Structure 1
């Protein structure tokens, strides 16, 4: 008989909110661990997935359990697992074809997780994996920021922005960011050197000659980023569209690569005009990079910013609040209390 668990799932795209249902618990492979999830975070990619916004990149089968990152406790290990043992407190971002962290349990490859930072609660740790890895891969892997270089981080008070500002400062960058005036104190406390109130100023009227832009908005705001970029600079987006460079890296089929070329024609023109490079970032899970972030957190060089923690049963309210775009930092779902014994 299959063991059961509660999970938040959708049965079709554009479903208003995920609903909590009873489903079979996941089975682990030889390289997997089974984690009892204590907390998970809501990310914009969850909303995009729910609404079918990633169908061009990823094909999911329904019903689909949502959720991409988590913190929890290992309850079982696969035959080839050597890095973790039962009882370890861990956190991670699962592979895109294995999403499902809005559930009581998740099966995840041992290479995609790391030990939870000792100075964080499970709720705080759950706020880190997706935004931390995304920011690290943008700023460290793609931009390769050097001390003194200038970077604009869009939406500095959001989940990505609050971590990205801190990481960029640790790398020695001069950091500008956009936010509303009411969030100025928050982003300045995280290290922002220059704050643009997007409600009263256009960032391209204030900034110029920047080495990098980290775009979290897409659309026209992404195109406007090229107005401040210097020749040889890089614009990295998580909200724009994949281009031919992305297609080459991921070896996508020819027809899809052609489609990417068509939809990013304006971006390609801007690249040529400004002599800058555009990168679409599709973050990759990495236990090794999470371990780097853990050390930085334990050394108190960076820390997560949490807007609110809601019980799993209030997932509809959590999605509604996430969709509003008003969150300062991360929205966390608490699955259960680890201090209480559970079957």
Structure 2
């Protein structure tokens, strides 16, 4: 039985606790079926990592999380046909399987793509989860295309434009031809949002309507909510255009008044990037296709990686620091942990 290093936990604890993330030795898995065994080179931390770590019942076996990853294929399952040993890949993994915070990880090839060659592993690891989330939201949920000419008279409000998903969503919405209005409240986040594709910014701590009207917009055609769905819901109802569409990725334990959207015949839809892998949907391979498509855009330099901070050494101490940074709610772009 071959062992490997991993970082995980037995109890769901605050990141300030010593045992919130611990260094482990666990069994190295073997690729079968549609799986690839990937040697991890870099991972990034997303809000979902911190939420899964902090909430839940005690684990009988050590739980290893981590979703974003970039690495090298070292084994290929007997039903896998898209990749070969030695391929450099990137992916966002599955929420119901052991994660990427380890030396090696099993992942279904249908949610994996070859990483953009011009990007380092650390740059590529920042991208999959946020890119898939933003791309699926725009295309599968809001029914947009990347035919820029068809969207030139359309507007999109992105709430939380400087975070991980926002940093990609602003770029993709811009690429789709939309007029992009991002929310940001600090000089550095305003600059980041505009650098990454927002044509305008407004402050999410202030009245949406007044700020939009100052920019010359009474309504917006699309809203992509990446922060505090319940807090912003009434404002979204107010500024969404008749027959407009709202997509959110942020869960809420509040009851949302969907009837408020009825007179406008407006759409409210959720985006959860793990849906396809969690339910093994018939179109699961679409995530392979999306990541392959956006890899060409990164190669062409029409999209840019969103990594802003890289910690060297895939260990419990560095992952704790990455979790702490993400939980602060003040991060711009993405935090990456690179394996030595």
Confirm or deny that 1:266 pairs with 2:256.
yes
Confirm or deny that 1:30 pairs with 2:23.
no
1:315 to 315, 319, 329: 319
Q: What root-mean-square deviation, in Å, do the aligned CA atoms of Structure 1 and Structure 2 show?
A: 2.0
Confirm or deny that 1:167 pairs with 2:172.
yes
Q: Do the aligned partners of residues 33 and 60 (structure 1) sit closer, same or farther apart at CA in structure 2, a change above 3 Å counting? A: farther
Using the size of structure 2 for normalisation, the TM-score is: 0.85
What SS is found at the alignment partner of 2:110? Answer: helix
What SS is found at the alignment partner of 2:8? Answer: strand
Per-residue deviation, 1:119: 1.1
Maintained 8 Å contact 1:178/1:203 = no
Question: Which residue is equivalent to 1:229?
Answer: 240
Confirm or deny that 1:97 pairs with 2:96.
yes
**What does residue range 1-343 of structure 1 map to in structure 2 within 5 Å?**
2-16=1-15, 17-52=20-55, 62-145=61-144, 146-148=150-152, 149-179=154-184, 180-199=186-205, 201-207=206-212, 208-217=218-227, 218-241=229-252, 265-283=255-273, 284=276, 286-311=287-312, 312-313=314-315, 314-336=318-340
Using the size of structure 1 for normalisation, the TM-score is: 0.85
Per-residue deviation, 1:298: 1.0
Return the alpha-carbon distance in structure 1 between the equivalents of residues 210 and 24 of structure 2.
50
Return the alpha-carbon distance in structure 2 between the equivalents of residues 68 and 219 of structure 1.
26
Return the alpha-carbon distance in structure 1 between the equivalents of residues 180 and 61 of structure 2.
42
User: Number of paired residues?
Assistant: 309
What SS is found at the alignment partner of 1:107? Answer: strand
Range moving further from structure 2, 297-306 or 60-69: 60-69
Per-residue deviation, 1:110: 1.1
Return the alpha-carbon distance in structure 2 between the equivalents of residues 216 and 229 of structure 1.
16
Per-residue deviation, 1:61: 7.0
Range moving further from structure 2, 20-29 or 165-174: 20-29
Question: Which residue is equivalent to 1:246?
Answer: none
Range moving further from structure 2, 160-169 or 10-19: 10-19
Maintained 8 Å contact 2:224/2:247 = yes
Maintained 8 Å contact 2:182/2:198 = yes
What SS is found at the alignment partner of 2:82? Answer: coil
Return the alpha-carbon distance in structure 2 between the equivalents of residues 310 and 204 of structure 1.
40
Return the alpha-carbon distance in structure 1 between the equivalents of residues 263 and 7 of structure 2.
46
Return the alpha-carbon distance in structure 1 between the equivalents of residues 244 and 116 of structure 2.
34
Per-residue deviation, 1:264: 6.1
Return the alpha-carbon distance in structure 2 between the equivalents of residues 188 and 15 of structure 1.
34
Per-residue deviation, 1:94: 1.1
In the alignment, structure 2 segments of 5+ residues that lack a partner are 145-149, 213-217, 278-286
What SS is found at the alignment partner of 1:64? Answer: coil
Q: Do the aligned partners of residues 204 and 21 (structure 1) sit closer, same or farther apart at CA in structure 2, a change above 3 Å counting? A: farther
In the alignment, structure 1 segments of 5+ residues that lack a partner are 242-262, 337-343
Map Cα deviations across residues 283-308 of structure 1 (whole Å, 9 max, x no partner).
Answer: 14611111011111111111111120
What SS is found at the alignment partner of 2:305? Answer: coil
Per-residue deviation, 1:102: 1.0
Per-residue deviation, 1:83: 1.3
Per-residue deviation, 1:164: 0.3
Return the alpha-carbon distance in structure 1 between the equivalents of residues 269 and 113 of structure 2.
27
Q: Do the aligned partners of residues 155 and 273 (structure 1) sit closer, same or farther apart at CA in structure 2, a change above 3 Å counting? A: same
Map Cα deviations across residues 67-94 of structure 1 (whole Å, 9 max, x no partner).
Answer: 1110000111111222111111001111
Q: Do the aligned partners of residues 60 and 33 (structure 1) sit closer, same or farther apart at CA in structure 2, a change above 3 Å counting? A: farther
